[in-house]
């Protein structure tokens, strides 16, 4: 448990001090609880609250105080895990992903100094500065599909219809006929960026109660117990008149649509609507749809940087760009799932140990 803040609640005869605590390790986010001066349970206050009736009016005050206390502690937590190297750092003899060339380059060395990439090239011809620290190699698509769905689905996009509708009708959409054929061409011609979030629909359409969604399966053994239970009970039953087989067929159509979008020149960016844990599964689904591992990685590196106008500073490994790097144990050119096996993370030149970051996020070990 980590103390957050002492908070005054109540007035007059009911006035007292309660303490907010963050409980870590039960889930992937700290659980917040309020205890009284004797260490007894007082309540909790988040978007919803469970408080003694006499203190119901303190809900928003308690929520605000806890948010501010969490925010005040974040810089200190960041300093604990972000190492600012005193010397240059060289990632030597690594397989490097060249996002601009959409390719992997063998036996490369990347040198970082003062937060910037100062050299990147073949290991044989890229010198490592004297005294440098050397790290060796460890080696929402539903809205696109809705273009061809019935009006009663399209007209209510702020309900569950955009999720149930594609599952019900998506399997029957012919991507070679109108309106989809011209719609895909138009998206490609206008370079409209699409964030498929396939991982959301894989979990919604193919997962079964009692099993962890595919995105979290590699992490299952390292997840906190409460998170495991929640994920195993997170499957949604199809609506009336729709079978699980219908849902699975509609998800396969989403994979095919993703391939068609890519082939039409539509820029794809990888998103998950969730946490970072699902991102690699999103890339695996792009490969399953027909992209190469390099093309899939581009959707999570250079394409997002271009989308927000940051590609001059980040998004690829090039001299002069910010040192935003990850070192993995594995070969992502053959298996993009190897991206889960991160060993080091560098952000703006600050070096972080991936195992320590996992522990901070609530994981108790490495993924499979």
> Over the stretch 235-261, which tens digit does the pLDDT of each residue have?
777 888 888 899 899 999 999 999 999
> Kind of pairing, strands 325-328 and 133-136?
unpaired
Q: How much is the pLDDT for 138?
A: 46
Domain-ending residue, one of 18, 53, 81: 81
- pLDDT bin (cut points 50, 70, 90) of residue 147 is low
Output the pTM of the full model: 0.80
Strand segments (E) across 214-367: 325-328, 342-347, 350-353
How far is residue 63 CA from its own chain's centroid?
A: 26
The b-or-e profile of 32-69 (16+ CB within 10 A means b, else e) is bbbbeeeeeebbbbeeebebeeebeebbeebbebbeeb
Same-domain status, 205 and 332 = yes
Q: What is the pLDDT of residue 273?
A: 86
User: In this structure, is residue 11 part of a structural domain?
Assistant: yes
Does the pLDDT at position 306 exceed 90? yes
What whole-number distance in Å separates Cα of residue 135 and Cα of residue 91? 5
Asked which of 48-62, 67-81, 190-204, 295-309 is least confident by mean pLDDT, the reply is 67-81
Q: How far apart are CA 358 and CA 343, in angstroms?
A: 10
Is residue 240 helix, strand or coil? coil
CB 58 within 8 A of CB 65: no
Q: State the Cα–Cα distance between residues 140 and 258, nearest whole angstrom.
A: 10
CA-CA-CA-CA torsion sign (40, 41, 46, 48): negative
Look at residue 260 and tell me if it is in a domain: no
Range of lowest pLDDT (21-35, 136-150, 151-165, 349-363): 151-165
Least confident of 2-11, 86-95, 145-154, 217-226: 145-154
Q: Does residue 105 form part of some domain?
A: no
Whether residues 74 and 198 fall in one domain = no
Residue 110 and residue 129 in contact, taking contact as beta carbons nearer than 8 Å: no
Asked if residue 127 is part of any domain, the answer here is no
Distance, in Å, from the CA atom of 210 to the CA atom of 285, rounded to the nearest integer, reads: 22
Average pLDDT over residues 290-294: 98
The per-residue pLDDT of the chain, averaged, comes to 90
Choosing from 19, 47, 81, the residue where a domain stops is 81
Q: Are 310 and 94 in contact (CB under 8 A)?
A: no
Q: Rounded mean pLDDT of 292-313? A: 96
Range of the domain at 312: 194-236+268-361
In a domain, 334, yes or no: yes
Bridge partners of 344, per DSSP, are: 327, 353
Nearest to 46 by CA among 71, 33, 63: 63
Residue 165 in any domain: the answer is no
Task: Decide if 185 is inside a domain.
Answer: no
User: 217 and 353 in one domain?
Assistant: yes
Q: Distance between CA 293 and CA 98 in Å, rounded? A: 12
- Residue-level pLDDT at 146: 62
Q: Answer whether residue 141 is part of any domain.
A: no
Paired tokens of 63:
């929520």
- Say how many domains are in the chain: 2
Exposed, middle or buried: residue 115 (CB in 10 Å: 0-12, 13-18, 19+)?
middle
- pLDDT digits 0-9 by tens, 169-224: 788 889 999 989 999 999 999 999 999 999 999 998 898 889 999 999 999 999 99
pLDDT at 13: 94
pLDDT level of residue 159 (50, 70, 90 thresholds): low
Q: What is the pLDDT of residue 139?
A: 38
- Reported as a pLDDT band with limits 50, 70 and 90, residue 84 is confident
* Contact predicate 192/268, CB 8 Å: no
Asked if residues 147 and 179 have their Cβ atoms less than 8 Å apart, the reply is: yes
Domain's final residue, options 27, 53, 81: 81
The pLDDT-based confidence of 80 (bands split at 50, 70, 90) is confident
Exposed/middle/buried for residue 353 (C-beta within 10 Å: 0-12, 13-18, 19+): middle
């Amino acid at each position: 448990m980590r103390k957050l803040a002492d908070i005054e609640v109540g007035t007059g005869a009911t006035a007292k001090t309660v303490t907010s605590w963050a409980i870590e390790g039960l889930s992937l986010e700290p659980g917040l609880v309020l205890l009284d001066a004797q260490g007894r349970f007082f309540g909790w206050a988040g978007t919803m609250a469970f408080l003694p009736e006499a203190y119901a009016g303190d809900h928003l005050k308690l929520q605000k105080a806890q948010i501010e206390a969490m925010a005040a502690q974040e810089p200190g937590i960041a300093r604990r895990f972000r190492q600012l190297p005193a010397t240059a750092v060289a990632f030597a003899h690594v397989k490097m992903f060249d996002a601009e060339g959409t390719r992997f380059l063998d036996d490369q060395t990347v040198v970082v100094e003062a937060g910037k990439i100062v050299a990147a090239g073949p290991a044989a011809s890229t010198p490592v500065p004297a005294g440098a620290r050397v790290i060796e190699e460890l080696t929402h698509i539903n809205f696109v599909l809705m273009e061809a769905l019935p009006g009663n689905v399209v007209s209510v996009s702020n309900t569950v219809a955009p999720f149930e509708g594609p599952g019900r009708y998506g399997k029957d959409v012919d991507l070679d006929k109108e309106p989809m054929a011209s719609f895909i061409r138009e998206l490609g011609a206008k370079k409209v960026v699409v964030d498929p979030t396939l991982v959301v629909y894989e979990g919604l359409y193919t997962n079964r109660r009692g099993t962890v969604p595919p995105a979290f399966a590699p992490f299952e053994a390292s997840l906190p117990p409460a998170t495991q239970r929640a994920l195993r009970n997170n499957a949604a039953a199809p609506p009336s008149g729709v079978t699980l087989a219908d849902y699975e067929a509609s998800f396969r159509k989403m994979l095919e649509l993703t391939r068609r979008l890519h082939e039409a020149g539509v820029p794809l960016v990888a998103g998950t609507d969730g946490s970072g844990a699902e991102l690699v599964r999103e890339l695996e689904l792009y490969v399953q749809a027909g992209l190469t591992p390099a093309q899939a990685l581009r959707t999570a590196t250079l394409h997002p940087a271009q989308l927000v106008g940051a590609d001059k500073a980040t998004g690829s490994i090039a001299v002069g760009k910010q040192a935003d790097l990850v070192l993995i144990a594995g070969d992502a050119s053959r298996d993009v799932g190897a991206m889960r096996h991160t060993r080091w993370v560098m952000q703006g030149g600050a070096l972080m140990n991936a195992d320590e970051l996992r522990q901070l996020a609530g994981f108790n070990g490495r993924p499979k």
